[in-house]
Chain A
Amino acid sequence: MKLAAPYLVGILCLISTSPLTANSEEDFWNLSIEQLLSTPIISASKKEERLFDVPASIHLINADMIERTGNITIPELLKGVPGLATARSNPGNWSITSRGFGGRFANKLLVLVDGRSIYNTGYSGVYWNAQNMYVNDIERIEVVKGPGGTHWGANAMNGVINIISKSAFDTIGTNVEVAAGNEIEHGMAARYGAMVGENSALRVTTNSIRSRAGNDGYDSFTEQRVDLRWDLIVGDDVTLNIQSGYSDSSVLDGFYLPNESIIGSSSASMSNTRGLNSSTTYGDSTLESFHVLGKWEKTLSNGTLSVKSFAEFSTLDSLPAKYDSQTVDIELLYRNRFHEKHDLMIGAGARQIKMELTKGFHNNIYNAFVQDEIEVTEKDTLAIGAKLEYFTDIIGAELEPSIRYSRKWNESQLSWASISRAIRSPSAGETKAAQTLLSSQLINTVQGPLTLITTMESSMEKMEAERLTAYEIGHRCKINDRTMIDVSAFYNSYDNIITMNYGDSVYGQYMGMMTLTNEYLIGNALSPTSYGVELSFEQTINNAILAEISYSYLNIDMGDQPHLTIDPSQLATNYSLLLEKNTPTHQCSLRLNYDISESLKSQMAYRYISEIDTGSSLIPSYTQMDMSLVWDLNEYVAFSLVGKNLLEDDHLEYDMFLDLGTISTKVGPSYFAKVNVSF
């Protein structure tokens, strides 16, 4: 076991740009055999950088960690990341967020797969149930807590997750995996990789996951997908990567449809309706998507030049909404170390998003970005950059600048500080919602039978971007070869946070029936602030045991008064309390990796999550433990046994009542066995 895998070439490299010469041959000698195997000969990547040297709050999940946990879904892998708030609503739906504002559609966290955004602009957020690529195809997952708007643009507000798949050169041969347990009905994956000529390799992977419906009956999900990756090298300095994938996923959703207790329109009455007066309906939400991605990279004498493009087509058919969408994106990035003290990076891109909703949603986004990393002294580095984005159809132009300073005191001490601005662009659902009928039902009240109508609409003609100014500091310290401490703190100041508010309740008549119409208004309304601390401590106890302890604290204050872009008279109540309290204040975790023998390795992961009290629902604090055991029977076959949530019978991790009324189900102990065969 090694302290923190040392090299990164994905998103983290963009946060800081130390000299390309840092990637000299000396660096290879500190790599493990596994790392050497995945090191490209032609390094057309923008940058390779030691994890220790990255001036940001970061965490890395590498292939060894993935194998050790035995997990077969990406949300389960993210569960162990210090400071990341992950909570399961049901096996297919998750709230995954960084630094607050959780929810099924946690909309301030950008997620990328090999640089392709899987952030859904229809509702803002990620459909986690439709992102389960075969985990053994993943080389690593980079998690950045904090804004990344300067490099990644809109929606990289509170964090960025980049899932990086293995090169096809690293997956030659055949691999088959089968998993089954009390909750996972089956997990089946098959992969075949082969060299195509001397300089290219191709991989095809299929993956199928199906979870059982629990006692509540709402929580099954399935996903079938096929992924293809082709890597090739051209000459001595060009790499080409082409990927494509098709996914068909389905999650059985339950939705609460509010009824008569909304009369009076207060959040308190909403809380009282839960499970008592509200009615429930459920059905399959399906998402079918296809994507293709191409990336061309050329290594230059003093830098790199790359062009990346992707297109994605998807169809969502869910209880609250249906739409077809297509996204086409192209990005160009040029890096040049034109002076011994300046590492310049410039880029430009364009993205077109089209969605067929009740009202069509078309948005073209154009961007340009520049960053210079200046080596101020031998120890001090200053990175200044900005991205300008122009959203043609919704919010216009937005600037996302950042300034990041770091001091490397010596080989074992790094301090850093940054000020960044990031934005979130309103989703199609937020900007185009208008008179959307969510439910229509007959209810009995003391006034007699009423037909209940619920509408949701955008409260303004033009919505503005959510904006964040973030202040961060951090320090990383390697006490010795076996001990590392990483601490960071932040203060976030938001503006224009979009929220949904209960509007008027209006009695009326429709076709001779008495009706009650409840309005929801969506608009920029809040200016919250937040602050927090993230701490992790990693200790290699001996050659067989590694321990990692982490703690994170988060405090969000949504502010006293809503922004005046919404008529205050319409704000019978708002969601500010719910946004403020939907992420735990305290999170602690302990992870123990124990290599019992050369062929038998294990992991125990404890976590404590403090209570979530949104005012309308209470999720008590809980402590949970996951365990895994991986036995390499021989060079071809490995068995895994995985137990999850072993300390309590059942518990709620999150209440997604507010996320379109999605029903959350309790999380109970689960286990599964897995066999993996390579040949």
Chain B
Amino acid sequence: MIGLSACLAVLGPPQLCAQNSRHDRENGIKAGFIIGFSDFMKWENHSIDTSKELRIGLLGKGRLKDTLEKAIRAKSSHKRRIYLESFETPDQIDDVHILFVFKEEMETWEDTRLICGKKSILTISDIKDFASNGGMIEIVRVGNRIKFVVNNTVAKQSGIAISSKLIRLSHGGNR
């Protein structure tokens, strides 16, 4: 114990971890989810095959965009290209497979929901109660973890088949 105290004295007192670290980890996990979800989906009405090309859209602005850009650079390959597009308003949304909705865009959510329903776009957000308000996947923080809630009914209505495995992995479905 004396030796330990001496080392602590030499090395300096413990410092608080920058809060950024936590947010970076949260965003890293969210980005991993957003890209990884595509492996558990079948877009029945979408013209672009996700095994060759995956198109992700962002509605609004947030730090997650930077993380996703880095992730996409890392994950794109000659076998599958991943594209990221940003939209400021719902009417700009084009034929993406996945749309992540930032908090500030909840005011226009009804318009977004209708557009995404018609275009068979998987909607994801970390807005509270997103799934119960017609969103397809809500990313939630559960204590020290990031989990997700699936609204399979809405997804089915939009022609998106979500694998039962992903549903089992969703929050509350842990075996």
Which residues of chain B come closer than 8 Å to A67, judged between CB atoms?
A: 175
The answer to whether A42 touches B22, judged by C-beta atoms less than 8 angstroms apart, is: yes
Give the number of residues in A that approach B within 8 Å (Cβ atoms). Answer: 66
Residue of B32, B33, B39 with most partner-chain A CB within 10 A: B32
List residues 221-256 of chain A with CB under 8 A from any CB of chain B. 231-233, 236-237, 239
The answer to whether A169 touches B22, judged by C-beta atoms less than 8 angstroms apart, is: no
Interface 0/1 of B2-36, CB less than 8 Å to A: 01100110010011111101101111110111011
Residue of A31, A167, A635 with most partner-chain B CB within 10 A: A635
**Is A36 interfacial (CB 8 A cutoff)?**
yes
Q: Of the candidates A167, A172, A347, A599, which one forms a contact with B144 in the assembled complex, judged by CB atoms under 8 Å apart?
A: A167
Q: Of the candidates B17, B19, B71, B169, which one forms a contact with A29 in the assembled complex, judged by CB atoms under 8 Å apart?
A: B71
CA distance A348 to B16 in the complex (A): 22
Which residues of chain A come closer than 8 Å to B15, judged between CB atoms?
A: 300-302
Known contacts being A33-B37, A41-B145, A201-B142, is A346 close to B4, with CB within 8 Å? yes
**Is A678 interfacial (CB 8 A cutoff)?**
yes
The answer to whether A231 touches B40, judged by C-beta atoms less than 8 angstroms apart, is: no
The answer to whether B33 touches A36, judged by C-beta atoms less than 8 angstroms apart, is: yes
Residue of B18, B35, B70, B172 with most partner-chain A CB within 10 A: B172
The answer to whether A39 touches B25, judged by C-beta atoms less than 8 angstroms apart, is: yes
Which residues of chain A come closer than 8 Å to B75, judged between CB atoms?
A: 29
The chain B residue with its CB closest to the CB of A34 is: B169
CA distance A387 to B18 in the complex (A): 32
Known contacts being A28-B32, A33-B169, is A346 close to B26, with CB within 8 Å? no
**Chain A binding surface SS class:** mixed
Known contacts being A41-B144, A231-B143, A368-B4, is A635 close to B164, with CB within 8 Å? yes
Q: Of the candidates A34, A171, A368, which one forms a contact with B3 in the assembled complex, judged by CB atoms under 8 Å apart?
A: A368
The answer to whether B175 touches A25, judged by C-beta atoms less than 8 angstroms apart, is: no
The chain B residue with its CB closest to the CB of A241 is: B144
The chain A residue with its CB closest to the CB of B147 is: A37
Which residues of chain A come closer than 8 Å to B173, judged between CB atoms?
A: 173, 635-636, 678
The answer to whether B142 touches A195, judged by C-beta atoms less than 8 angstroms apart, is: yes
Which residues of chain A come closer than 8 Å to B115, judged between CB atoms?
A: none
The answer to whether B146 touches A41, judged by C-beta atoms less than 8 angstroms apart, is: yes
Shortest distance from the beta carbon of B1 to any chain A beta carbon, whole Å: 5
Which residues of chain A come closer than 8 Å to B14, judged between CB atoms?
A: 298, 300-301, 303, 305, 334
The answer to whether B16 touches A237, judged by C-beta atoms less than 8 angstroms apart, is: yes
Known contacts being A28-B31, A236-B19, A301-B18, is A344 close to B11, with CB within 8 Å? yes
Shortest distance from the beta carbon of B28 to any chain A beta carbon, whole Å: 3
The answer to whether B29 touches A39, judged by C-beta atoms less than 8 angstroms apart, is: yes
**Is B106 interfacial (CB 8 A cutoff)?**
no
**Is B165 interfacial (CB 8 A cutoff)?**
yes
**Is A199 interfacial (CB 8 A cutoff)?**
yes
Which residues of chain A come closer than 8 Å to B143, judged between CB atoms?
A: 167-169, 195, 198-201, 231-233
CA distance A535 to B81 in the complex (A): 37
List residues 461-477 of chain A with CB under 8 A from any CB of chain B. none
CA distance A205 to B20 in the complex (A): 36
The answer to whether A41 touches B22, judged by C-beta atoms less than 8 angstroms apart, is: yes
CA distance A288 to B163 in the complex (A): 44
List residues 128-175 of chain B with CB under 8 A from any CB of chain A. 141-147, 163-169, 171-175
Known contacts being A41-B145, A169-B144, A336-B11, is A599 close to B3, with CB within 8 Å? no
Give the number of residues in B that approach A within 8 Å (Cβ atoms). Answer: 52
Interface 0/1 of A143-175, CB less than 8 Å to B: 000000000000000000000000111111101
Which residues of chain B come closer than 8 Å to A298, judged between CB atoms?
A: 14
The answer to whether A25 touches B19, judged by C-beta atoms less than 8 angstroms apart, is: no
The answer to whether A334 touches B7, judged by C-beta atoms less than 8 angstroms apart, is: yes
Residue of A31, A39, A231 with most partner-chain B CB within 10 A: A39
Which residues of chain B come closer than 8 Å to A42, judged between CB atoms?
A: 22, 25, 144
CA distance A239 to B17 in the complex (A): 13
Which residues of chain A come closer than 8 Å to B1, judged between CB atoms?
A: 332, 348, 368
CA distance A384 to B130 in the complex (A): 51
Which residues of chain B come closer than 8 Å to A344, judged between CB atoms?
A: 7, 11
Which residues of chain A come closer than 8 Å to B174, judged between CB atoms?
A: 170-173, 175, 193, 678
Q: Of the candidates A33, A43, A173, which one forms a contact with B33 in the assembled complex, judged by CB atoms under 8 Å apart?
A: A33
The chain B residue with its CB closest to the CB of A28 is: B28
**Is B86 interfacial (CB 8 A cutoff)?**
no
The answer to whether A301 touches B16, judged by C-beta atoms less than 8 angstroms apart, is: yes
**Is A73 interfacial (CB 8 A cutoff)?**
no
Shortest distance from the beta carbon of B42 to any chain A beta carbon, whole Å: 11
List residues 294-309 of chain A with CB under 8 A from any CB of chain B. 298-303, 305
The answer to whether A678 touches B11, judged by C-beta atoms less than 8 angstroms apart, is: no
**Is A338 interfacial (CB 8 A cutoff)?**
yes
Shortest distance from the beta carbon of B61 to any chain A beta carbon, whole Å: 19
**Is A634 interfacial (CB 8 A cutoff)?**
yes
Shortest distance from the beta carbon of B85 to any chain A beta carbon, whole Å: 19
The answer to whether B29 touches A41, judged by C-beta atoms less than 8 angstroms apart, is: yes
Which residues of chain B come closer than 8 Å to A299, judged between CB atoms?
A: 17, 21
List residues 267-310 of chain A with CB under 8 A from any CB of chain B. 298-303, 305
**Is A378 interfacial (CB 8 A cutoff)?**
no
Interface 0/1 of A167-209, CB less than 8 Å to B: 1111111010000000000000000010100111100000000
**Is A649 interfacial (CB 8 A cutoff)?**
no
The answer to whether B28 touches A25, judged by C-beta atoms less than 8 angstroms apart, is: yes
With A24-B28, A42-B22 already in contact, 5 other A-B pairs whose C-beta atoms are closer than 8 Å: A29-B32, A29-B71, A36-B146, A41-B145, A236-B16
Q: Which A residues lie at the B interface, using CB under 8 A?
A: 24-29, 31-34, 36-43, 67, 136, 167-173, 175, 193, 195, 198-201, 231-233, 236-237, 239, 298-303, 305, 332, 334, 336, 338, 344, 346-348, 368, 370, 598-599, 632, 634-636, 638, 676, 678
Can you list 13 A-B pairs with a CB-CB distance of less than 8 A?
Answer: A24-B28, A28-B28, A29-B35, A33-B37, A37-B169, A41-B144, A167-B145, A195-B143, A198-B143, A305-B14, A334-B7, A599-B165, A636-B173
Closest 9 A-B residue pairs measured CB to CB? Answer: A25-B28, A28-B28, A301-B15, A299-B17, A169-B143, A237-B17, A300-B14, A28-B32, A169-B145
